Amino acid sequence: MSMAGRGRNLGPKDTGPKAKFSQLTPYLFEHKAALVVAVVLSLIGAVVSLAQPLVVGQVITAVQNGEDVGQLALILVLVIVGAGIASGFMYYVLAKAGEGVVLSARNKLAVRLLKLPILEYDLRRTGDLVSRVGSDTTLLRAVLTQGLIDAAGGVLIFVGAIIAMAFIDPFLLLLTLGMISIAVASIVVSARQIRSATTKAQQRVGDMAASVERALSAVRTIRAARAESRETEGISNDANEAYVQGVKIAKINALISPIAGVASNAAFIVVLGVGGYRVAAGETSVANLVTFILLMFLMIRPLGQAFGAYSSVMSALGALARIEEILQLPLEESASESAQTTKPKKTLNAIEFKKVSFAYPAAEAHRDGKLVLDSVSFKIKTGDRVALVGPSGAGKSTVFSLIERFYEPTSGEIFLDGIPVRELSRDSLRSQIGYVEQDAPVLAGSLKENLLIGSPNATDKELKFVLGEVNLTAVLKRDKRGLDAEVGEAGIMLSGGERQRLAIARTLLAAPPILILDEATSALDG
């Protein structure tokens, strides 16, 4: 009886919990040194940027007065070059830190995904989990590379520009702020939709990845059944849903840019018109007007950075919700507080079931919550060879899964050498048992890599010996690479019987005291 169902996607729903910025900060603080450097460079760039309009004003005044502008021109060039250098270093530091954030998230997910309770793999789709490691984590990079840290310098520029503009012409400043505030309100309302749209888009990408994984894992069956068009249609539907959400995000971003552009241009026209009138009336100078306009554009630029940062943070939080959903799942407990980590003491009864009942959780779509095992009791003595016989679905594989503690009994107790398995760490328990699953999974890679999964220190001599024990010597001889011969995805380059023999060899290599074969010889012919 196979335990590995396709499962269903239990990703965050539209009404589910959303990630908070506080959940993002640990990823950022892992690179706090780089962030400090980036902030310092951003502030330096802000100061240099603020100096540019002031120097330009001085140049204009000097020209009007017939003074030498050579020194001022040199200062202006140095200011511009300095701003460019600071900006370049800052973006490099941020890009490197952004890649570090992605790496950290992927490592955390990889560790978590391999230590979840078996039930989680039953309930979830493999492709969706892969999508979280690949696609979702990538969105975290944008938090650093698209404006968040640059916004620190932007605040200084914004405040500094307003102060300077207030000294130059308070009336023009009020006009500018009035026009920009309307645009700001419109943009904030639009940008709030980005997080929800991103979460939905990433969910659809996960669905698509799961559909692709599903089709590729059974591509021969699909070809034989001439079901390519139906499977393609399913993948296309998922891709289209991702496209719809992606277009929605694009619409929001497309709305933000024109609003900001219109506000900027409108403010420029008004300031130029009113300022020109004030220059003609002798109320201000040309140098002051030019300086004010340059400061105005400097003030507007951080607003764009702020909205870019907000958009990237909202997108990251949408992806982070899917990442954190996995990271917050409980791990498979390695042991209870009183668990024994030493090997159990040998007794007459190696394995004992005492009134064990078990039901798969009703949450699984294909389970109804009814008991698969009902008050089952038996004893297997040391040295015995025992076969469990029964029709499909009778619970044979379930018994093996309970012995391995992939699941816990609903009631009753299981003993290994007289010790309740609940009191043994899973590592200690599983080190005593060699388990060959019903479908005898073989991993992509070489013969050697498959054999070393449970016995990483085995020698080539030991590997060849155990392959001989299961009659796989012919596999070694037919490929000049020998142990390094590739077996293909899921062992597709081997026959069904060879895959089973390889799985058995892998288990025998570890020489466990107890060997469990779940119909692992069904494809063997001799």
Quick one: pLDDT band at residue 367, thresholds 50, 70, 90?
low
Query: What is the model's pLDDT at position 355?
Result: 92
Query: What is the model's pLDDT at position 520?
Result: 55
- Give the domain ranges of the chain: 22-327, 346-425, 432-526
CATH class in words for 22-327? mainly alpha
Of 229-238, 312-321, 364-373, the range with the lowest mean pLDDT is 364-373
SS (H, E, C) 138-205: HCCHHHHHCCCCHHHHHHHHHHHHHHHHHHHCHHHHHHHHHHHHHHHHHHHHHHCCHHHHHHHHHHHH
Shared fold status for 22-327 and 346-425: no
210-to-27, 105, 129, 220 alpha-carbon distances in Å: 27, 20, 8, 18
Query: What is the model's pLDDT at position 16?
Result: 47
One-letter amino acid identity for 295? L
Residue 232 has pLDDT above 70, yes or no: yes
Query: What is the model's pLDDT at position 146?
Result: 63
Query: What is the model's pLDDT at position 265?
Result: 78
Q: Considering only residues 285 and 193, tell me which one the structure prediction assigns the higher pLDDT.
A: 285
Query: What is the model's pLDDT at position 138?
Result: 85
Q: What does CATH list as the number for 432-526?
A: 3.40.50.300
Q: Please say whether the structural domain 346-425 has been given the CATH code 3.40.50.300.
A: yes
Residue 464 has pLDDT above 80, yes or no: yes
Query: What is the model's pLDDT at position 149?
Result: 65
**pLDDT tens string 258-274:** 776 777 778 788 888 88
Quick one: pLDDT band at residue 145, thresholds 50, 70, 90?
low
SS (H, E, C) 298-316: HHHHHHHHHHHHHHHHHHH
Max mean pLDDT among 3-17, 48-62, 214-228, 411-425 falls in 411-425
Query: What is the model's pLDDT at position 181?
Result: 79
Query: What is the model's pLDDT at position 345?
Result: 57
Region 371-398 average pLDDT: 85
Quick one: pLDDT band at residue 13, thresholds 50, 70, 90?
very low
Q: Considering only residues 213 and 344, tell me which one the structure prediction assigns the higher pLDDT.
A: 213
Residue 216 has pLDDT above 60, yes or no: yes
* Per-chain mean pLDDT for the chain: 78
Query: What is the model's pLDDT at position 36?
Result: 84
